[in-house]
Amino acid sequence: MIMREALREFINGLVPEIREMRQRLHRIPELAGKEHETRRLLKSEADKLQPIYWQPKLGTDLVFEIPGRDPGKVIGLRADMDALPILEKTGVGYASGKEGLMHACGHDGHMSILMGTAKVAKAFEKHLPATVRFIFQPGEEVLCMGAELVEKGVCDGLSSVYGFHNWPGLPVGKISSKPGIFFAAANEFKITFRGTATHGATPEKGNNPLLPAADAVIRLQGSPPLFPGRECGNIGMFSGAEKKLECHPLLKLYWKVPFAIPVWRRERPMPFRMRCARQTENSAVSIPLSIISEIICR
């Protein structure tokens, strides 16, 4: 049985090392599926523990186990690895060393905490009642690579699996959870309005998609939720009109819909796609345009 005071003392002594690891990871942010340097850093730390490694299944994932007393019981612990395409302006001494990339969602902290947990598990290995599988998952932000890892067997044999996400609004030291769904995921829709280009002085010779696209922004942003209290939508990007003297033929909207609905991947995309089509087509009834909507990620 692990003595609580011994465990607490070990963890307190480990905190400076984990903080320094988080700062090293923060300096090397990488996008989804490209976490090669991140993986090398993590593996160099894991090598010190002499764990049982799994072969990578997606190239940049890192999965290993520390065996416990009961080899038939395996518990999974998971953290995400990727960063975001955001320019860091914090000014901290450990700021991102890669222009336009930043660990703005806290995955550097998630990885550091999980590796710290692995170090604790190794230090008290003879007391572990079950084997612990540590799962460092790439591609959480955009590519949905967690689902790919599950499909490739990373959760096979697990009796349970645990993950967490930092939440700056909570007091330090407090953990929040509840039964059922806790955090939302998101689907992204790209809606393309294709008109006919013309000089700004002769608008009657072209079909300008700007006005119907702008109307679609208002319609989509203001449309009632399909699942009240469990989803919301946000237009995050509107691009295409770049020249002052031209009716640009192509405009793109990006509509992100965070949701908290179970079995989304199997049942839910179509209602949102139909809603996209209905609102955008209503916007373009007076102007002949080609409108294409597509699901980017689910």
Q: Assess contact for 3 and 105: CB atoms under 8 A.
A: no
Q: Which residues of 86-122 are buried (b: 16+ CB within 10 A; e: fewer)?
A: eebeeeeeeebeeeebbbbbbbbbbbbbbbbbbbbbb
pLDDT score, position 242:
59
* Inter-residue contact 273 to 167 (CB < 8 Å): no
* The pLDDT of residue 183: 74
In this prediction, residue 34 carries a pLDDT of 96
pLDDT of residue 59: 94
Bridge partners of 292, per DSSP, are 192
Averages of pLDDT over each 10 residues, the chain, 298 residues:
84 96 98 97 98 96 95 94 95 96 96 98 94 96 88 95 90 87 71 73 73 76 64 69 55 54 46 60 55 52
How much is the pLDDT for 265?
Answer: 45
Tokens of 81: 């690895």
Q: Three-class SS of residue 187?
A: strand
The per-residue pLDDT for 284 is 53
Please tell me the predicted confidence (pLDDT) of residue 212. Answer: 76
Q: Full-prediction pTM beyond 0.95? A: no
- The confidence score (pLDDT) of residue 278 equals 63
Q: Domains, the chain, ranges and CATH?
A: 4-162 (3.40.630.10), 185-297 (3.30.70.360)
Phi and psi angles of residue 251, each rounded to the nearest 5 degrees, phi first: -130, 145
Cα separation, 37 vs 34, in Å, equals 8
Helix ranges restricted to H, 75-144 = 107-123
